[in-house]
């Protein structure tokens, strides 16, 4: 008889085995006892964490990008990925990771969100953002804001500190001020690059179609608790008029997250993403038709949007850590980082 080996299963979890009062466990009892511990062993393994992001889709080719500019984009995307990963690795929430990673890009002039927002026809910067919690299905968004430094944090505040989902314009700005968010002068958002872009757009209005470049930024996260979150932030489209609002602040169009399906963030021509409710459609195909994240994304981005000239892309993440990044344009700034902490960044189609 082995006194302290695996045969004495009933003492396996309590330390050294006493020598008195023991009896040999039969192979059948031994197997049953070991199986009883399996669920506890499985639960001891931390869930897979994952952060996926995009920085906009459009006419993005190697020919249009200098090595120095490409380097800047890659470094900024890697910084945003690492920022979100630190939060997830320490057991932080998917919501916190999404917000933090988007704020990094809102503070950069490279992306069409926050500091790098494009100009309207009137020469203003009007920004939109949204965020959604896959665990509770709570969501928040802001539209047409001009003085909030980080619109994604305003969207988070709408979700966490108000009974509403969406606020727009001056009302959203007043709310952001009252809850203590950072407010800046509208001149903060002025950049020479975006101003020149507007001037080109104005000159091309009557002569040629401008190049399409959707600089919207988005992020999806899966945390150690197994909860999903999604967020999107944008400056809209250059030369937009009449208070135009795209899909980014609209839940179900540009942003969606549910623990019952997937998290989605979109970028592209917002009018099409609104009319085809792209983010929710992808989630529904995953949940109700049993498609994979890749199949659901391709079904919408390619089979539904391409025939109607709906340009853009999306990032999709499920609770198993599976993700997809389909787009039907020349390129899309995109990347991911998993539990190993190694950031991956892609830009072009090939």
- In the chain, alpha helices (H): 27-44, 67-89, 94-106, 151-161, 169-178, 192-204, 270-275, 278-288, 293-298
Q: What would you report as the CA-atom Rg of the chain, rounded to the nearest whole angstrom? A: 24
Query: Do 172 and 155 form a contact (C-beta atoms < 8 A)?
Result: no
Calculate the CA 61 to chain-centre distance.
23
Q: Which of these, 315, 312, 305, lies nearest to 327 by C-alpha position?
A: 312
- Spatial distance between the Cα atoms of 256 and 264, rounded to a whole number of angstroms: 5
The question of whether 232 is a catalytic residue gets the answer: no
149: left (phi over 0), alpha (psi -120 to 50) or beta: alpha
The residue count for the chain: 350
Q: What is the DSSP letter of 244?
A: -
- Give the DSSP per-residue string, 308-343: GT--EEEEEEETTS-EE--B-SSEEEEEEEETT--E
- 105 Cβ neighbours under 8 A, 6+ residues apart: 55, 76, 77, 80, 111, 113, 114, 217, 233
Given 216, 234, 267, 269, which residue is catalytic?
216
Burial 253-268 (b: 16+ CB within 10 A, else e): bbbbbbbebbbbbbbb
Neighbours of 22 (CB within 10 A): 16
254 Cα distance to chain centroid: 10
Q: Are strands 139-145 and 166-168 parallel, antiparallel or unpaired?
A: parallel
Catalytic residue numbers, as ranges = 216
């Amino acid at each position: 008889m082995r006194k302290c080996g695996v045969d004495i299963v009933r003492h396996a979890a309590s330390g050294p085995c006493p020598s008195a009062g023991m009896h040999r466990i039969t192979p059948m009892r031994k197997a049953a006892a070991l199986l009883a511990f399996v669920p506890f062993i499985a639960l001891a393994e931390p869930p897979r964490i994952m952060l996926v992001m995009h920085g906009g889709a459009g006419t993005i080719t190697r020919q249009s990008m200098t090595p120095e500019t490409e380097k800047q984009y890659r470094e900024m995307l890697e910084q945003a990925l690492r920022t979100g990963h630190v939060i997830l690795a320490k057991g932080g929430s998917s919501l916190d990771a999404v917000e933090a990673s988007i704020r990094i890009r809102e503070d950069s002039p490279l992306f069409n969100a926050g500091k790098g927002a494009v100009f309207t026809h009137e020469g203003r910067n009007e920004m939109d953002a949204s965020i959604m919690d896959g665990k509770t299905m709570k969501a928040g968004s802001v539209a047409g804001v001009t003085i909030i430094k980080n619109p994604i944090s305003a969207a988070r505040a709408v979700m966490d500190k108000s009974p509403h989902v969406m606020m727009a314009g001056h009302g959203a700005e007043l709310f952001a001020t009252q809850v203590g968010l950072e407010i800046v002068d509208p001149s903060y958002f002025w950049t020479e690059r975006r101003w020149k872009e507007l001037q080109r757009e104005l000159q091309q209005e009557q002569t040629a179609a401008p190049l399409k470049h959707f600089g919207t930024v988005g992020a999806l996260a899966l945390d150690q608790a197994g909860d999903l979150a999604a967020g999107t932030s944008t400056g809209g489209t250059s030369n937009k008029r009449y208070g135009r609002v795209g899909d980014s602040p609209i839940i179900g169009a540009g942003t969606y997250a549910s623990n019952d399906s997937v998290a989605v963030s979109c970028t592209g021509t917002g009018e099409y993403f609104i009319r085809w409710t792209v983010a929710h459609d992808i989630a529904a195909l995953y949940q109700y038709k049993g498609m994979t994240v890749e199949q659901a994304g391709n079904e919408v981005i390619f089979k539904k949007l391409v025939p109607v000239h709906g340009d853009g892309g999306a990032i999709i993440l499920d609770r198993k850590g599976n993700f997809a990044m389909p787009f039907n344009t020349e390129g899309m700034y995109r990347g991911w980082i998993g539990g190993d902490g190694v950031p991956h960044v892609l830009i072009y189609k090939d």
